[in-house]
Amino acid sequence: MNHPPPPDRLEAAYQTALAKLLAERTPDGYWVGELSTSALSTATAVSVLSLVGKATSAHGSFDALVRGGLDWLAAHQNDDGGWGDTIKSFSNISTTMLGRAAIHLAGAAERHAETLRRADAYLSERFGATPQQQAEAVRVRYGKDRTFAVPILTTCALAGLVKWDEVPSLPFELACFPQSWFRFLRLQVVSYALPALIAIGQCVHHHRKPRNPIARVVRWLARRRSLRVLERIQPPNGGFLEATPLTSFVTLSLASIGLAAHPVARKGAQFIVNSVRPDGSWPIDTNLSTWVTTLSVNALAAGGELEKLDKLLELRDWLLKQQYKERHPYTGAAPGGWAWTPLPGGVPDGDDTPGTILALWHLAPEDESCLDARGAGVIWLRGLHNQDGGWPTFCRGWGRLPFDRSGADLTAHALRVFAIDDPMMPTEFFWWQIEQGMGYLVRTQRPDGSWLPLWFGNQHAPDDENPTYGTARVLAAYRDLDRMNSEPARRGVAWLLSAQNADGGWGGAAYTPSSIEETALAVEVVLDAPGVDIPGSPEQAAVNKGFHWLVQQVEAGGLDQPTPIGFYFAKLWYYEKLYPIIFTVAALGRARRKLSHRLTETHPEATPS
C-alpha cells in the first residue's frame, strides 16, 4: 500500500471514533471510562466478604454478594481451568490461586466442586501438585518484590491451601518510622503498598511468630502504632488507591486476626460492597477518570477539535479542582500534582500530572488560573525528578523495586511538559531537566532501538513487555522537543518499522497480534518521523499501511474491543474501554491535519479539511 486510505474513508473512520469519544462525556463535560472487570478483584472481594461476614454481626448480610461473585468466577473460568486477570487474559498462577482460595473461604467447595477440580488440575499441571511447589512458583513469579506474592500466599494460607511457613513475613514495624525515611529502609513492598505492609505484616506475625525474640518484641510493640498509621492513610471512602485487591488484602488480613470491627476493616468492607458491579463482579479499580479525561483532551487537541467542544470552561474547572493543594497523607507527596481519579483513594503521580498540565495548556493557555495550576504542577514534577535523570511514578528516590523506579514512558511524558511553548515558562528555563531526562532516555534505550514502559505490557510479548507502547510514548517527547532527527529517535523509529505486522498493524512487539491501541500509538508518532514525506520511503509506507489497518478496524467495529495492555499493582492486567477510542482519535486527527496535502495529491477529488 503506497498511498494513504481514501480521504472519505479516513474521514468517516475519524468521525466514528470522534462521535464515540464525545458520547462518553458526562453531562459535566469530563470522561469517566470503564475499567475491565477483574477475576482477581472478584476473588479477593469474595474472600474478604466471607471472612468479615463470619467474624462480625454482619454474618449472612454478604451472602448474596459472595454467591454472585463465585457464580461469576465459575462462569468465567478459562478453558484450561485457570483464571486470568480479565476475561481476555491468559490464565496465571496468581489469579487462579486466589480464585480457588475464594471458593474455600466462602465454604462453597461442594457447590463449586467442578470449578475447583479444573483449577487444581491447571495448577498441578503447570506449577506442581503440592502446596509447597505452588507457593514457590508464586514467589518465583515476583522475585524480590513481595508486594503481591505475600498477599496471595496469605489469602491461600487463610483458606488452608498452603502452610504459614510458606508465607514470607513483612516488617510492618517499619511503617512506624517517618515517611521521609521510607526510601532508606529498603522496604520489601513498593511505595504504594504501605497499607499491605502493615495489615498483611500483622496477619503473618499473628499466625506465624518470628523465631527471633527481639523481632517478636519489636513487632508486638509496633502493632498499635502501625495500625494508627494505617487508619491515618485510609481514604474517607475506605478504598486504598481505589483498588479492590489492595483494599481486600488489607481488610481480610485484619479480619483474620480479630480486627474485623476495627475502623479500617469496617470502611474497607464497605468500599468492597459499594464497588460491586451488577453482574456480581468487581473491577480492578473504581475508575481512571482524570487520566482518560486528559488523554481525551490531548487527543482532541491533536486533531484541532477542542474549539468545537462545549463546556470547555467546565472541563477546565473540573481539572483544576483535582489538583492536590496539600501534602498527601498516603505518600507524603508535595502539593501540586494530580492523580488518575478524582476519588479519595487517588494519589498524585508522575504520569497524570504531566497529562493534566498538557490538557490545561490546550484548554486555556493564557488563563491565569491555569497558569498558576500548571506552574505548581511543574514545580511538583521537578521535585519528583530522580537522580538517574528519569521520573518515577509516586515517590522520588524509590528505585529498588520495579514499579518504584524511573520509567521511560513517565520520563517522556514529563519532558513533553517542558517542551510547551509557554512564554511564562520558557523551555530554556528547564534545560537541565530536559538534558537530564534525555540522557536517561538514551541510557535506557535498548540495543534494538526500543524503550520499555513501566505501567503497560502485552500478554503476547516475551516477558509480558510492551516495547511498542514504550517506544511510541518516548518518541512523542522527541517529536515535541523537535529532536526526531537525533540518532536515538531514528533508532526508535527504525524499531517501530521493524515491529510492524504484515497486516499493517502493530502489537506490543514484533510478531504479536495487532491491536487498535498499539497501532494508533505507533502510527501517530511515525507520522512525524524523518522521511515520512518522501514518496516510497519505508516511513511513508509504514504510515500508509498502519492507517489502512486502523481504518479497517474502525469500520469493522473494533473500537468496542479494548485490549489488555495495562499493568496495575504488580503485573495485574486491565483494559480500559476508552483506550482504543482515544488513541484512534489522536492518530486519525493528527493524520487529517498532516496528510491533507498528500491526500489531495493522491486523491485530487478530495477537499482538505
The listed range with the strongest mean pLDDT (139-143, 364-368, 523-527) is: 523-527
- Summarize the confidence of residues 4-20 as an average pLDDT: 94
CB 268 within 8 A of CB 329: no
Total count of domains within the chain: 3
Dihedral sign (CA 76, 80, 85, 88): negative
Check pLDDT > 50 for residue 609.
no
Arithmetic mean of pLDDT over the chain: 91
Q: What are the grid coordinates assigned to 444, written together?
A: 535506557
467 with 487, same domain: the answer is yes
Residues 501 and 581 in one domain: yes
The residue from 261, 283, 305 where one domain ends is 283
Instruction: Using the predicted structure, report yes or no on whether residue 384 has a pLDDT greater than 60.
Output: yes
pLDDT, one tens digit per residue, over 402-458 is 667 899 999 999 999 999 877 767 677 788 899 999 999 999 999 999 999 999 999
- Looking at the structure, tell me whether residues 198 and 62 fall in a common domain: yes
What cell does 298 get?
490531548
Q: Which domain holds residue 597?
A: 1-30+451-609
Write the DSSP assignment of 445-501 as a string of letters. S-TTS----SSB--TTSGGG--HHHHHHHHHHHHHHTT-TTSHHHHHHHHHHHHH--
d(CA 369, CA 374): 9
Please report which confidence band the pLDDT of residue 193 belongs to, taking 50, 70 and 90 as the band edges.
Answer: confident
Q: Tell me what the mean pLDDT of segment 497-503 comes to.
A: 98
Q: Of 481, 558, 561, 557, nearest to 525 (Cα)?
A: 481
Q: What is the pLDDT of residue 374?
A: 93
Mean pLDDT of 45-50: 97
Residues 494 and 591 reside in one and the same domain: yes
Nearest to 103 by CA among 117, 90, 93: 117
The span from the CA of 215 to the CA of 270, in Å, is 34
Residues 495 and 460 in one domain: yes
Three-state secondary structure of 361-372: HHHCCCCHHHHH
113 and 58, same structural domain? yes
Provide the pLDDT for residue 603: 47
According to the model, what pLDDT value does residue 267 have? 97
417 and 300, same structural domain? yes
Instruction: Give yes or no: residues 224 and 242 share one domain.
Output: yes
Of the residues 283, 308, 328, the one at which a domain ends? 283
| pLDDT at residue number 606 | 47
Shared-domain flag, residues 376 and 506: no
Binned at pLDDT 50, 70 and 90, residue 400 comes out as low
8 Å CB contact between 99 and 44: no
Report the C-alpha gap between 39 and 270 in whole angstroms: 20
Q: Among 425, 444, 463, where does a domain finish?
A: 444
Q: Are residues 186 and 309 in the same domain?
A: no
State yes or no: pLDDT of 282 exceeds 70.
yes
Q: How far is CA 153 from the centre of its chain?
A: 23
Largest CA distance in the chain: 84
Considering only residues 404 and 346, tell me which one the structure prediction assigns the higher pLDDT. 346
CA gap 589, 591 in Å, rounded: 5
Are 265 and 388 contained in the same domain? no
Residue 403, pLDDT score:
67
pLDDT in tens, 518-565: 999 999 999 999 999 999 999 999 999 999 999 999 999 999 999 999
Q: What CATH number does residue 325 fall under?
A: 1.50.10.20
In angstroms, how far is the first alpha carbon of the chain from the final one? 23
Enter the pTM of the model: 0.93
Q: CA–CA separation, 403 vs 409, rounded Å?
A: 12
199 and 317, same structural domain?
A: no
pLDDT band at residue 598 using 50, 70 and 90 as cut-offs: low
